[in-house]
């Protein structure tokens, strides 16, 4: 579904990602580990084609099509959805109006909001005065309404309290069609710092981003345990 | 000659404190007389232009209508018991006591425009809710400029008697976008004890029209005054700065204004409130967008007694080069124990917001339009859905000039 080939990305001349190659299959959930500032968010932003991020070399293929030069909205229309970690406030745009603008055919935003315990926020301005956990739910609600084929999630568990973590986990499971066991189509690339989300969402593979590039790929639990035991420095000594 | 007339004559050349000076002798007071008509027979106005100013000539879902073309009142009638809608001239003939409400809140010698409204009085509307009465639908009032170079001078009196509730939509429009003229309108509002007035004014003027409304509001104990002002169409020069006097304990005033200034428009718009009784409250919220025009956004809160609370907010967005937004928020706390604040922000559309919406699948143009629409959507209480649609429509039309 997603094929990234030798991708290098910079902002205003500063290199953020070097020679990244990544392959995510249809139906696959991939965890992306990495320490703060390693470029995890930059990778998601580059896949989404957000303005400041410049692709210096390499290319991004989605469903076989080269999307490296497409605009952000064109990528979204082809089926890529992203959860922002710190989304901006859009004053005067109510959550319900946003959902009407972006919802895929046949989806009922009110039903989706109820699943996320978010009904009371439908009349609120998007992200205005939302707490950390409320921002996560608002982001996931929009993604559920969009119903993308590939979801990019940036630390979905950070800032979420214990009561809401299972609500968030369920929403992600639904986004990734975790109840479909054969011919699952939806794929996901999930950034996690703590690995906590793994308790709620099963992942097929994990990979680590260190020093601006993907260092290793493998079983997500094993990678997480390795990081817990040896830190990210341990990844550097590990065979790629 | 009455004292008021003497004062008006003394001020006939007095420039206003704010706004470019308008030469009154460039306009004419002469205009044809139009016949008084039933609503359904009115044919001298452009219905579409009025609809864009919130006035529905069908009278559907209205508790009364008033329509003045140039200097002639062609229709004035309520459709609900307990609500009076008539011309100011007729009301003055009917009620002796009404003289005491005239020029009580607005000073006749404030400037040459107030003086002109007295010396060249051409009627206006009188709307009153009897004690305890409440409008089921809004009353609509329309001031319409039809003749070329006309100077329209009106004086309106609005009274909500004790415990009543009155909702008024005033739509002002010209006959065509090319019309030239001057509108001077005095409006004095009286909100009696525990009464409420919701006043929505929508302007649909033209590029060559100068507008000088002069309004003031007196709010007694427990009274509420909600003011919505919307101007999304070009106007040569607009200057207004209504004053609310909160004189009764627990009185409340709220002003919302939404402005869009295209190239060539000059708007000097603000609201001020004097809180002179305990527990009074006031909120002033302004949204201004320029696509090339100049907006001066004023706001003044005066706290005269302890225990008052008031907030002033002005946000401006500059969407095109050549435009200017100048925000002047002022607070005047005169005693200990007042709680007053303001915030003002002027800027361009945040790229981060545009990209956020694009990441959800909106094109860049759609994203900008959505942000602009959201920015202009202050929550306007009591606005009928049909009017909200018209505002949306006006915003849509304005958006076309952006791309």
B225 and B287, same domain (yes or no): yes
B229 and B144, same domain (yes or no): yes
Query: Model confidence over B316-372: pLDDT tens digits?
Result: 999 887 899 999 999 999 999 999 999 999 988 899 999 999 999 999 989 988 898
User: Which range marks the domain in which residue B109 is found?
Assistant: 3-348
A50 with B373: Cβ contact below 8 A: no
Number of domains into which chain A is organized: 1
- Are B308 and B279 a contacting pair, CB within 8 Å? yes
Under DSSP, the state recorded for B387 is H
Number of domains into which chain B is organized: 2
* Closest-CA residue of chain B to A74: B361
- Are A41 and A154 a contacting pair, CB within 8 Å? yes
B111: three-class secondary structure by DSSP: coil
- Are B135 and B166 a contacting pair, CB within 8 Å? yes
Question: What is the reported pLDDT for B384?
Answer: 61
HSE toward the beta carbon, residue B16, CA cutoff 13 A: 24
- Are B272 and B299 a contacting pair, CB within 8 Å? yes
User: Which range marks the domain in which residue A203 is found?
Assistant: 2-237
Q: What is the pLDDT along chain A (240 residues), one digit of tens a residue?
A: 999 999 999 999 899 999 999 999 999 999 999 888 888 899 999 999 997 899 999 999 999 999 999 999 999 999 999 999 899 999 889 999 999 999 988 889 999 999 888 999 999 999 999 988 899 999 999 999 999 999 999 999 888 888 888 888 999 999 998 888 888 899 999 998 888 888 888 889 999 988 778 878 888 888 888 888 888 877 777 655
B305 and B394, same domain (yes or no): no
H helices present in B61-171, as ranges:
88-94, 112-119
Residues of B in contact with A47 (CB under 8 A): none
* Closest-CA residue of chain A to B352: A88
Residues of A in contact with B391 (CB under 8 A): none
B359 with A72: Cβ contact below 8 A: yes
Residues of A in contact with B356 (CB under 8 A): 84, 87-88, 90
Dist CA A8 CA B323 (whole Å): 40
A99 touches chain B (CB under 8 A): no
B378 touches chain A (CB under 8 A): yes
What backbone torsions phi and psi does residue B338 show, to the nearest 5 degrees? -90, 150
CA quadruple A112, A117, A120, A121: dihedral sign: negative
B361 with A73: Cβ contact below 8 A: yes
B370 with A93: Cβ contact below 8 A: yes
Which of B330, B348, B366 corresponds to the end of one domain? B348
Question: What is the reported pLDDT for B59?
Answer: 81
Entry field: residues in chain A:
240
Dist CA B219 CA B253 (whole Å): 8
B371 touches chain A (CB under 8 A): yes
Residues of B in contact with A85 (CB under 8 A): none
B257 and B353, same domain (yes or no): no
Looking at this predicted complex, what is its ipTM?
A: 0.94
B362 with A82: Cβ contact below 8 A: no
Q: Tell me how many degrees the CA angle A119-A87-B369 measures, rounded to the nearest 5.
A: 85
Q: What percent of chain B has pLDDT over 90?
A: 73
Query: Model confidence over B214-255: pLDDT tens digits?
Result: 999 999 999 999 999 988 888 999 999 999 999 999 999 999
Query: Model confidence over B126-136: pLDDT tens digits?
Result: 999 999 999 99
B32 and B79, same domain (yes or no): yes
- Are A190 and A206 a contacting pair, CB within 8 Å? no
Whether residue B380 is predicted with pLDDT greater than 70 in this model: the reply is no
B374 and B331, same domain (yes or no): no
B288 and B307, same domain (yes or no): yes
Entry field: residues in chain B:
403
Residues 6+ apart with CB under 8 A from B353: A88, A90, B367, B371
CB neighbours of residue B32 within 10 Å: 11
What CATH number is associated with residue A124?
3.40.50.300
B361 with A77: Cβ contact below 8 A: yes
Both tokens of A180, joined, read 């479909």
B362 with A101: Cβ contact below 8 A: yes
B270 and B363, same domain (yes or no): no
- Are A24 and A189 a contacting pair, CB within 8 Å? yes
Question: What is the reported pLDDT for B319?
Answer: 85
**Lowest mean pLDDT across A191-200, B22-31, B132-141:** A191-200
Closest CA to B344 of B328, B355, B320: B328
B354 and B329, same domain (yes or no): no
B323 and B360, same domain (yes or no): no
According to DSSP, the residues that pair with B343 across neighbouring strands are B313
| Confidence band of B36 (pLDDT split at 50, 70, 90) | confident
């Amino acid at each position: 579904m997603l094929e990234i080939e030798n991708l290098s990305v910079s902002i205003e001349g500063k290199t953020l990602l070097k020679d990244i190659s990544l392959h995510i299959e249809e139906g696959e959930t991939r965890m992306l580990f990495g320490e703060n500032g390693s470029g995890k968010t930059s990778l998601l932003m580059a896949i989404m084609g957000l303005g400041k991020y410049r692709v210096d070399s390499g290319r991004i293929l989605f469903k076989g099509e080269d999307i490296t030069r497409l605009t952000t909205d064109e990528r979204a229309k082809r089926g890529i959805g992203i959860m922002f970690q710190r989304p901006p406030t859009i004053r005067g745009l109510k959550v319900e109006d946003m959902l009407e603008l972006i919802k895929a055919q046949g989806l009922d935003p009110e039903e989706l909001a109820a699943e996320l315990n978010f009904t009371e926020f439908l009349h609120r301005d998007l992200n205005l005065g939302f707490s950390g956990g409320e921002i996560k739910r608002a982001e996931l609600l929009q993604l559920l309404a969009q119903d993308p084929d590939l979801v990019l999630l940036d630390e979905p568990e950070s800032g979420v309290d214990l009561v809401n973590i299972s609500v968030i986990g369920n929403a992600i499971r639904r986004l990734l069609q975790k109840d479909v066991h054969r011919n699952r189509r939806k794929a996901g690339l999930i950034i996690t710092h703590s690995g906590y989300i793994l308790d709620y969402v099963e992942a097929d593979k994990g990979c680590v981003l260190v020093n601006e590039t993907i260092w290793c790929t493998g079983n997500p639990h094993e990678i997480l345990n390795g990081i817990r035991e040896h830190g990210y420095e341990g990844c550097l000594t590990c065979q790629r | 000659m009455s004292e008021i007339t003497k004062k008006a004559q003394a001020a006939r050349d007095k420039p206003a404190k704010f706004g470019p000076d308008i030469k009154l002798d460039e306009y004419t007071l002469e205009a044809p007389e139009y016949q008084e008509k039933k609503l359904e027979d009115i044919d001298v106005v452009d219905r579409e232009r009025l609809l864009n100013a919130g006035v529905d000539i069908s009278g559907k879902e209205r508790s009364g209508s008033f329509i003045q073309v140039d200097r002639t009142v062609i229709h004035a009638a309520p459709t609900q018991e307990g609500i009076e809608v008539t011309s100011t001239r007729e009301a003055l003939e009917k009620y002796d006591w009404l003289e005491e409400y005239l020029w009580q809140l607005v000073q006749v010698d404030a400037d040459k425009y107030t003086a002109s409204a007295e010396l060249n009085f051409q009627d206006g509307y009188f709307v009153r809710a009897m004690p305890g009465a409440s409008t089921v639908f809004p009353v609509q009032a329309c001031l319409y400029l039809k003749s070329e170079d006309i100077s329209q001078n009106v004086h309106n009196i609005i009274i909500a008697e004790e415990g009543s509730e009155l909702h008024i939509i005033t739509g002002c429009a010209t006959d065509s976008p090319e019309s030239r003229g001057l509108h001077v309108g005095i409006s004095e509002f009286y909100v009696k004890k525990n009464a409420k007035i919701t006043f929505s004014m929508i302007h649909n003027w033209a590029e060559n029209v100068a507008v000088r409304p002069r309004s003031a509001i007196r709010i007694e104990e427990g009274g509420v005054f909600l003011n919505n002002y919307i101007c999304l169409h070009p106007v040569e020069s607009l200057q207004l700065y209504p004053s609310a006097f909160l004189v009764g304990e627990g009185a409340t005033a709220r002003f919302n204004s939404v402005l869009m200034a295209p190239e060539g428009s000059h708007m000097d718009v603000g609201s001020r409130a004097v809180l002179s009784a305990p527990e009074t409250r006031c909120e002033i919220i302004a949204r201004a967008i320029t696509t090339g025009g100049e907006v001066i956004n004023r706001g003044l809160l005066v706290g005269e007694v302890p225990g008052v609370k008031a907030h002033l907010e002005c946000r401006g967005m500059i969407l095109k080069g050549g435009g200017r937004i100048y925000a002047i928020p002022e607070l005047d706390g005169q005693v200990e124990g007042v709680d007053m604040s303001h915030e003002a922000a002027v800027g361009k559309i945040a790229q981060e917001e545009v990209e956020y919406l694009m990441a959800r699948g909106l094109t860049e143009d759609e994203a900008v339009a959505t942000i602009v629409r959201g920015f202009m959507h202050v929550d306007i209480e009591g606005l009928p859905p049909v009017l909200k649609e018209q505002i949306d429509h006006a915003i849509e039309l304005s958006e076309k000039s952006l791309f």
